[in-house]
Amino acid sequence: MVVLQLSDVSRTHGSGDTAVHALRGVDLVVQAGELVAVMGPSGSGKSTLLNLFNLISSLTAAENVSLPLELDGMRPRQARKHARAALEEVGIRELTDRYPDQMSGGQQQRVAICRALVGDRRLVLADEPTGALDSVTGEAILQVLRHRCDQGAAGLLVTHEARHAAWADRVVFLRDGVVVDTTGPAPSAESLLETTGV
């Protein structure tokens, strides 16, 4: 079952002379049960790719947080109740009825975290989740991520490290906003890293 499907997705930051084409015609499919790692140099568009699924600007905080629950089949009223409870738990109840453009970047991030925490996620997005952690804790997080995917979630993991990408079923390489390669798990990923100098 396809959980995530991107077809010819482009994303530009800014406009005019300062426009940055962060993604250019990206195609990506992630199936249930599959963990896909995204690798590539700094600035290649990895975070932009994951942020496509960040807050939806036409929905309030409560609606953003309840959306995945509703997509999982929960009744809207119940989903909204869960969402409000989750926002309260994270200490941002005052954002409940605000739209993303009425929040600071930090507030948007907290709402996004909130959304990642509610319910049983069918799609797990992790942008260098081990960045600020020691290697033991980092491995533990990857193990949890792998487990969630083995249980049927679809996972997208941004990482710099080949040994982290080794947990993935597939590695997608980005360069300048374009998918330049896709490969199987660890060993071939590492050899590709050597040949492309990513």
* DSSP for residue 161: -
Per CB under 6 A, which region of 24-32, 46-54, 80-88, 186-194 contacts ligand ADP? 46-54
Cβ-based nearer residue to ligand ADP, 40 or 119? 40
- Residue 29 — φ and ψ, nearest 5°? -125, 130
> Is 44 near ligand ADP (CB under 6 A)?
yes
Is 20 among the residues that bind ligand ADP (CB under 6 A)? yes
Is residue 40 involved in binding ligand ADP (CB under 6 A)?
Answer: yes
48 interacts with ligand ADP by CB under 6 A? yes
What letter represents residue 92's amino acid? I
* Terminal-residue alpha carbon distance, the chain: 31
Residue 85: CB minimum distance to ligand ADP, A: 31
> Positive or negative, the Cα torsion across 11, 15, 21, 25?
positive
Stretch that binds ligand ADP, among 39-47, 71-79, 112-120, 161-169 (CB under 6 A): 39-47
Q: How far is the CB of 82 from ligand ADP (least distance, A)?
A: 30
Q: Which x/- pattern, by CB under 6 A, does the window 127-166 give for ligand ADP?
A: ----------------------------------------
The CB density around residue 65, as the number of other CB atoms within 10 Å, is: 31
What three-state secondary structure class fits 51?
helix
Distance, in Å, from the CA atom of 150 to the CA atom of 71, rounded to the nearest integer, reads 20
Q: Please tell me the distance from the alpha carbon of residue 152 to that of residue 61, in angstroms, as a whole number.
A: 27
d(CA 60, CA 65): 9
When the beta carbons of 118 and 162 are compared against ligand ADP, the nearer one is 162
What residues line the site for Mg ion (CB under 5 A)?
46-47
What residues line the site for ligand ADP (CB under 6 A)?
13-14, 20, 22, 40, 42-48
